[in-house]
Amino acid sequence: MPDKLLLLIHCPDREGLVASVTSVIRRFHGNVVDLDQHVDTERGVFFMRVAWNPATDDEAAIAQFQQAFAAEVAKPCDMTWRLERASRRTRMALFVSRYSHCLYDILARWESGEWDVAIPLIISNHRELAPVAQRHGVRFEYVPVTPGTKAEAERRQLDLLREAGVDLVVLARYMQIVSPAFIAAMGGNVINIHHSFLPAFAGGQPYHAASARGVKIIGATSHYVTADLDAGPIIAQDVVTVSHKHSVEDMIRKGRDLEKIVLARAVYAHLMHQILVYDNRTVVFE
Amino acid sequence: MPDKLLLLIHCPDREGLVASVTSVIRRFHGNVVDLDQHVDTERGVFFMRVAWNPATDDEAAIAQFQQAFAAEVAKPCDMTWRLERASRRTRMALFVSRYSHCLYDILARWESGEWDVAIPLIISNHRELAPVAQRHGVRFEYVPVTPGTKAEAERRQLDLLREAGVDLVVLARYMQIVSPAFIAAMGGNVINIHHSFLPAFAGGQPYHAASARGVKIIGATSHYVTADLDAGPIIAQDVVTVSHKHSVEDMIRKGRDLEKIVLARAVYAHLMHQILVYDNRTVVFE
Amino acid sequence: MPDKLLLLIHCPDREGLVASVTSVIRRFHGNVVDLDQHVDTERGVFFMRVAWNPATDDEAAIAQFQQAFAAEVAKPCDMTWRLERASRRTRMALFVSRYSHCLYDILARWESGEWDVAIPLIISNHRELAPVAQRHGVRFEYVPVTPGTKAEAERRQLDLLREAGVDLVVLARYMQIVSPAFIAAMGGNVINIHHSFLPAFAGGQPYHAASARGVKIIGATSHYVTADLDAGPIIAQDVVTVSHKHSVEDMIRKGRDLEKIVLARAVYAHLMHQILVYDNRTVVFE
Amino acid sequence: MPDKLLLLIHCPDREGLVASVTSVIRRFHGNVVDLDQHVDTERGVFFMRVAWNPATDDEAAIAQFQQAFAAEVAKPCDMTWRLERASRRTRMALFVSRYSHCLYDILARWESGEWDVAIPLIISNHRELAPVAQRHGVRFEYVPVTPGTKAEAERRQLDLLREAGVDLVVLARYMQIVSPAFIAAMGGNVINIHHSFLPAFAGGQPYHAASARGVKIIGATSHYVTADLDAGPIIAQDVVTVSHKHSVEDMIRKGRDLEKIVLARAVYAHLMHQILVYDNRTVVFE
C-alpha cells in the first residue's frame, strides 16, 4: 500500500478551487480519503487539506504530480502549498528548564508508541532533568543561558538541532525567551505552552496573576512562537474551573495537567500536518 | 444576489466523488462557498454538504441543475441526496407539557430574530402554558392525551400540523411518547430533548437516577425521535459538573439551562441544514 | 416553619471562629442546615456562610440574637457581617440597551417562578425593548444617555430605582458605563455581564478582538461593577470552544447563549446570598 | 510545627454537630485551618472533614484527644469516623495490564515529587510493562491470571501487597475483574478507571459502544471498586467532545488523556483524605 500523501494549501479564494485540486489528484489515480476546506470570507482566503492514497509510491510519479499540480493549479491560483508524506517521521527536540510534567508526558507518548515521532535531543538551561532524559535514552545537552551569552547559546542550540536533523522544537515549559533569529532558523516550527488562557495573563507568573484577579477559570495555550512574546498563532487552548478555594499552589497543580494535555494536542496536530498558519492565526483541520 | 443552495449527500464511498459533485456545480457557474465532506471509513459511506451561490435564482435553471446532477452523478453513485434553499423558512411546531424553560427560550430566539423560522403552532397536553403562547401571539392547541385516546390525539395533532404547514416538530419537554406512525408522518423531522447524557439514564426521572448513582457530571441530549424511545440519532449533547452538594432539585435547576441550550443547538443545526442521518447516527457539519 | 436565616461573615482569621459562631446559634436553639467556611491563608481572612432554621420567626427573638452575636462574637473578632432572611424577595431592576437575549432569559426565569424575585422596573437608553417589557407587564422607562446628559440621566435612574425599592441592578447587556457615584448609591449591588473571558478582551467589541487574535475558546464573565471598567470582582465565568470555522458573527451567536447562562448564574448566586466580596475577589459558597 | 490532623466523619444529622466537634478540637488547643461539612438532607446524613494544627505532635496528647472525642462526641452521635495525619505517606500499588498511559502518568507524578506517596510495587498479568517499572526502580511482579487460577492469583497478589505494606491499590487500566474477597481484604481501598462516562457504556469496549451509539461526548470515570462491576462509588468524572469525524481509534486516543487525568484526580483526592463514602456515593471535599 503506497504511503498516504497530504496537500496543504492556502490562496486567495476564487471559484472552483476544490474541483481544480481534486481533478489533478484524480487524474493521477489518487483516491481522496480526507478532504477539509475552509474559506475565511472576511479575509477572502481559501484553505484546504487533502489526504489521498496515490496509485504508487514511485518517487518519479510523485514528482510528476507535483510538477503538474504546480503548473496547472498552484501557480495560476497563487497558492502557498506543501506536500507531506503521512509516514515521514518528524524529528522533534524538547527544550526544558526545571518543570518536568510536560517532558514526562511527551516522553511517555513517544516511548509507548502513541506518537510516531523521533526525539533525538533534549536541550535545557538547567541540569536537573538530565536523569529523566538519560533514563529514556535520549541525548541531553546542557546549554546555560545568561543575558550575556544568549546569542552564543542559541548558536550552540542551533548547531545541536542541525546536527540531530530536528524539524520541530517543542518548548516544554522552557523558561527562556527565544530570539526571532532562532525562530527563523527553525522555519517557525517552534511550539510553546503558555500556562494561561492567552491573551489573559501573558508574560510571567500567570497563575499568580489569575489568583490576584480572582478568575473562576484558568487555562493553558499552546502556540507557535513568534518574535512577539506570547502573541504567536494559537494552536490549542483548554481551561479548568477554579474557585475561591484554590490557592495559587492549587492553580499551579491543576494547571500542570492542563498544560501537558494542551501542549500534547498542539504537537499532535503539528505531527499530523493538520495546521495551516495565516495572518497570525491557525486553521486546524482535526 | 441569488439565494444560496445547499446539497446534502450520502452514498457508498468511491473515488472522485468531491470532484464529480463540484464539477457539475461549476459547470452551472455556481460558486462554492462552503464544502464539508466526511468519509466513514468503517462503514464505507461518503457524506457531503456543499453550499454555493448559483448564477441565477431562475427556477428553470435550478431544475436543470437538479436533473443534470441526478442523471450524471447522483444516480450512478447511488446517492441519497436533497437540495435545500438557504433562505426557505422552516415552519416549526412546538410540543410542550408543563415545563416552560425550553418554550420560553425558543420563543425568545424566534421573536428577537435570532432564528429565521416560522412558529405557527404550539400543541400541549396541558393548558398551563397557553398564556405564554398567547402573549407571543402563537396559536395554542390543547390536545389532551390519555392511554385510551392516544391514537385519536395524534390524528388531531397531525391534522393541525398539516393545516399549519409544519416541517419540523420540536418536543420542548413534551412528556408524552409519540408513536412510530406520528414520526413517519413527519418524515422523521421530530427533535426531542432528553434530560440526561444518553445512553445513561434513559427513560423517566433521569435526574433522580443520576443523583442516586452519585455521578459527578449531568448532561442533556437532543436527538431525532425514533420508534425506540431515547435511542434515536443524537444531534447535540452537553454536560455540567455537579457534586455531593447538589440535591436532585439543584440538578433539575442546573439541568434546565443545559436542556434549553442543547435543544437550541440541535434545532439550529437542523434549521441550517447541517445534519445528515445514517445508521442511527448523525453527521453534523457545523 | 420559621423562615431560614443566613449569616455572612468575613474577618481576620483566628482560632475557634466556627465554634464561636455556631455556639451562639445553638444557644438560640437554631438548627444549622448549611455551613460553608473558607480561610484565605495568603491574606489571613476567614469567610463563612451559615444557614439555620431558627426556633422562631419572632422579630424580637431575631433582634436578640443579632445583639448577642454582635456583642459576643462579631465585635471582638472584628467581623464584617450581615444577616439575611432566606425568604425576603430581592427587588431587581434590569438595565438594557438593544440586545434582548439576557432580558428575555431573565424575564422567563422570573415569570416561570424559577427565580423568586421581584422585577418592578426595566430601564433602557433605547426604546426598542419596550414592547418586551410591556408584554411581560413590567414598567419600562426610557432614559436616554448622552455624554452631556449622563449625570442627569443617572440621577433620573436613581430616582426611579429608589421609588421602585430596588436592591439590585442587573446590567443585561446595557451598553453604557455607569459612574462610581451610581455604583456607590446602589451599595455596590450592580451586576454586569461582559462578553469575554476577562481579563482577556476587556472593553468594547471583545468578539471581534477574539476573532482577530485567533483564540480557540471564547468566554463570558459576570462581575460586580466597580469604578474600574471590567475590573470588578468576578462572580461567574464560562467558556465555549470555537475554531477557525467560526466567523465573528458565529462567535456573537455562540456567545449569546454563554452570556445569558453566565449572567443568570451570577444573579442567582446573589439572590441566594452566596457571595462575599473581599479584596476585589468573590467567595461564592454554592 | 506539629503534623496537621484530619478528622473525617459521617453520622445521622442532628443539631449542633459542627459546634460539638470544633469545641473538642478547640479544648485541645487545635487551630482549625480547613472545615468542610455537608448535610445530605434527603438521607439525613451529616458529613464533615476538618483539618487542624494540633498544639503538639506528642502521641499521648493525640491519643487523649481521640479518647475524649470518641467518648464525648463520636459515640453519643453514632459517628463513623477516622483520624488521619496529613503527612503520613500512603503506600500505593499499581495494577496494570498492557496499556501504559496511566502507569506512565502516575510514575511521573510520583517521581517528580508532585505526589508525596510511596509506590513499592507494580503487579501485572502481563510482562510487557516490566521494563517501565524497572526503569523507574519499582518492583514489578508478574502474576498471570486465568479463569482457573484466579483465586490463587489473588492470594499471591494479597501476599505481595501485605508484604509491601500497601494501603491503596490503583487499577491503572488493569483488565481483570477483582473479587469481592480481594476488595474486602484491601478494606475497599481499590480505585479503578473506567473508560466511559458511567453508567453509560459499563462493561467491555466502551469506546466501540460509544461510537456505535453516535454520542457527541465521551467520558472517563474513576471509582472505588465494589463487588458489582463498574457500579462502585464514583470519585471523579470528566468528558471530552467528539464528532462524526472521530473513529473508534480517535476516541481511544482522546480517551487516554481523559483516563489518566481523571484517575489522577481520584487518586489525589484519596491521598489527601478528601473522600467519604456513604450509600455507594462519595462526598469529595476538594
Contact yes or no for D112 and A100 at CB 8 A: yes
Closest Cα in chain D, distance from residue C175 (Å): 34
**Rounded percentage of chain A residues whose pLDDT exceeds 70:** 100
- Residues of chain A in contact with residue B19, where contact means CB-CB under 8 angstroms, are 18-19, 22-23, 26
* pLDDT digit string, tens, across residues C9-31: 999 998 888 889 988 998 999 98
Q: Does residue C48 register a pLDDT over 90?
A: yes
Q: Across the strands, what pairs with A40?
A: A45
Classify burial at C148, counting beta carbons within 10 Å of its beta carbon; exposed 0-12, middle 13-18, buried 19 or more. Answer: exposed
Contacts of residue D193 in chain B, CB cutoff 8 Å? none
Q: Look up cell 484526580; give the residue.
A: D265
Instruction: Select which of A230, A238, A257, A279 is catalytic.
Output: A230
Q: What is the pLDDT of residues B220-271, one digit of tens each?
A: 999 999 998 889 999 999 999 999 999 999 999 999 999 999 999 999 999 9
Decide if A26 touches B, using CB distance below 8 A: yes
Report the pLDDT averaged over residues D5-31.
91
pLDDT at A41: 84
Q: Are B216 and D234 in contact (CB < 8 Å)?
A: yes
pTM of the model: 0.96
The residue among B4, B24, B35 with the most chain A CBs within 10 A of its CB, best to mutate, is B35
pLDDT value at residue D31: 83
Question: Which of A112, A253, A286 lies at the smallest CB-CB distance from D101?
Answer: A112
Mean pLDDT, chain A, rounded, equals 95
Q: How confident is the model at residue B16 (pLDDT cuts 50, 70, 90)?
A: confident
Least confident of B92-96, B182-186, C200-204: C200-204
When pLDDT is cut at 50, 70 and 90, the band that residue C33 belongs to is confident
Helices and strands (H and E) in chain D: how many: 8, 13
B216 touches chain A (CB under 8 A): no
Least confident span in A71-85, A168-182, C10-24: C10-24
Which residues on chain B are in Cβ contact (under 8 Å) with C101? 108, 112, 114
More confident of the two residues B152 and D34: B152
Average pLDDT along chain D: 95
Tell me whether residues B239 and D239 touch, CB distance under 8 A. yes
CA B244 to chain CA centroid, Å, is 34
Q: What percent of chain B has pLDDT over 90?
A: 87
Q: What CA–CA distance (Å, rounded) separates A38 from A10?
A: 9
To the nearest 10°, the Cα dihedral for A35, B191, B242, C44?
Answer: 70
A176 vs A192: CA distance, rounded Å: 11
Residue of chain B nearest A41, judged by CA positions: B33
Of B16, B17, B35, the CB nearest to A37: B35
CA C144/CA C147 separation, integer angstroms: 10
Q: What are the distances in angstroms from CA B24 to CA A19, B30, B58, B72, B82?
A: 10, 9, 17, 9, 15
Average pLDDT of chain C is 95
Q: What is the arithmetic mean of pLDDT over B45-69?
A: 94
A242 min Cα distance to partner chain D (Å):
11
Q: What is the pLDDT of residues C144-172, one digit of tens each?
A: 999 899 999 999 999 999 999 999 999 99
Any CB–CB contact under 8 A between C1 and chain D? no
Residues 6+ apart with CB under 8 A from B20: B72, B73, B77
Nearby residues of B49 by Cβ (< 8 Å), 6 or more positions away: B6, B7, B8, B9, B34, B35, B36, B37, B273, B274, B276, B285
**Residue in D237, D280, D283 closest to B244 by CB:** D283
Q: Residues of C204-242 as b/e, b for ≥16 C-beta within 10 angstroms? A: eebbebbbebbbbbbbbbbbbbbeeebebbbbbbbbbeb
Question: Which residues of chain A does D250 touch, with a Cβ-Cβ cutoff of 8 Å?
Answer: none
Contact A198 C200 (CB under 8 A): yes
Residue A261 cell numbers, joined: 494535555
**Cβ–Cβ contact B215 with D under 8 A:** yes
- Pairwise CB contact (< 8 Å): B234 & D245: no
Chains touching D, CB cut-off 8 Å, 3+ pairs: A, B, C
Which one of C112, C242, C247, C261 would you mutate to disrupt binding with B, by most B Cβ within 10 Å of its Cβ? C112
CB-based contact, A256 to chain D, within 8 Å: yes
**pLDDT more than 70, % of chain D:** 100
Question: Which of the four pLDDT bands, split at 50, 70 and 90, describes residue A278?
Answer: very high
**How many residues does this entry show for chain A?**
286
pLDDT band for position B39 (50/70/90)?
confident
Cβ within 8 Å, pair D257-A261:
yes
Taken in order B46, B51, B54, B57, is the CA torsion positive or negative?
A: positive
Average pLDDT over residues B195-222: 94
Nearest-CA distance D95 → chain A (Å)? 17
Closest alpha carbon within chain B to A36: B36
Residues 229-248 of A with CB under 8 A from C: 233-239, 243-245, 247-248
More confident: D271 or D286 = D271
C88, pLDDT greater than 80: yes
Whether the per-residue pLDDT at C1 is higher than 80: the answer is no
Q: Say whether pLDDT at B204 is over 90.
A: no
pLDDT, greater one: B237 or B38: B237
Q: How confident is the model at residue A18 (pLDDT cuts 50, 70, 90)?
A: confident
Q: Residue D1 pLDDT > 80, yes or no?
A: no
Average pLDDT, chain B: 95
Binning pLDDT at 50, 70 and 90, where does residue D229 land? confident
A33 CB neighbours in chain B (<8 A) are 39, 41
Q: In chain C, what residues touch B108 (CB-CB under 8 Å)? A: 100-101, 104-105, 108
Quick one: pLDDT at residue A228?
87
Nearest to B261 among C108, C112, C261 (CB): C261
Q: Quick check: C222 pLDDT over 80?
A: yes
Rounded to two decimals, the ipTM of the complex is: 0.93
Q: Do D32 and C23 touch (CB under 8 A)?
A: no
Residue C266 pLDDT > 90: yes
Question: pLDDT value at position A39?
Answer: 87
- Active site residue ranges of C: 230
Write down the pLDDT at residue A133: 97
Contacts with A284 from chain C: Cβ below 8 Å: 243-244
Question: What amino acid positions of D are annotated as catalytic residues?
Answer: 230
pLDDT in tens, A191-211: 999 999 999 999 889 999 999
Q: Does C286 touch chain B (CB under 8 A)?
A: yes
Inter-CA distances, C255 with C120, C196, C263, Å: 28, 8, 12
Q: Do B199 and D201 touch (CB under 8 A)?
A: yes
| Identity of the amino acid at B225 | V
Say which of D217, D244, D280 has its CB closest to residue B237.
D217
Element (H, E) at B84: strand B80-85
Nearest to B48 by CA among B276, B282, B286, B281: B276
- Mark yes or no for CB contact B39/A34 under 8 Å: yes
Region at B137 (left for phi over 0; alpha for psi -120 to 50; beta for the rest) = left
Contacts A18 to B, Cβ<8 Å: 18-19, 22, 32, 35
Interface chains of chain A (3 or more CB pairs under 8 Å): B, C, D
